[in-house]
């Protein structure tokens, strides 16, 4: 069972650098990713927007494997700032889990 954190969802909603709500779920980001990750950015971002903090923590490895090459951003038809969204998630993990 997945627990929803309203505090985390509110933090994501308030973050000016997190614009994943513009995502159209087209899959272009996944198709052009040189890492070929099985977890989709749109899935990670949906978890964050819904406040599914544990799901984000469960996917830390994938979040940190992203090269931040921005190939996904360059091809995103909705102009989602995917690398910035990943940076936001990394920053949140660093703060909450590693006290950095």
Q: What is the pTM of this model?
A: 0.89
Compute the average pLDDT of residues 55-64: 93
Residue 1 has pLDDT above 80, yes or no: no
Read off the tokens for 11. Answer: 């933090």
Q: What is the reported pLDDT for 46?
A: 94
| 8 Å CB contact between 37 and 85 | no
Residue 71 has pLDDT above 90, yes or no: yes
Distance CA 36, CA 33 (A): 5
Compute the average pLDDT of residues 38-65: 91
Residue 39 has pLDDT above 80, yes or no: no
Residue 73 Ramachandran class (φ > 0 left, ψ -120 to 50 alpha, else beta): alpha
| 8 Å CB contact between 36 and 67 | no
Q: What is the reported pLDDT for 88?
A: 95
- 5-30 tens-digit pLDDT: 999 999 999 998 899 999 999 999 99
């Amino acid at each position: 069972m997945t627990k929803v954190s309203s505090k985390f969802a509110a933090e994501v909603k308030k973050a000016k650098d997190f614009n994943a709500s513009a995502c159209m779920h087209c899959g272009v980001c996944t198709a052009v990713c040189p890492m070929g990750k099985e977890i989709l950015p749109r899935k990670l971002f949906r978890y964050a927007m819904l406040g599914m903090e544990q799901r984000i923590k469960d996917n830390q490895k994938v979040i940190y494997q992203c090269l931040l090459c921005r190939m996904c951003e360059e091809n995103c038809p909705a102009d989602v700032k995917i690398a910035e969204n990943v940076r936001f998630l990394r920053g949140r993990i660093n703060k909450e889990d590693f006290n950095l």
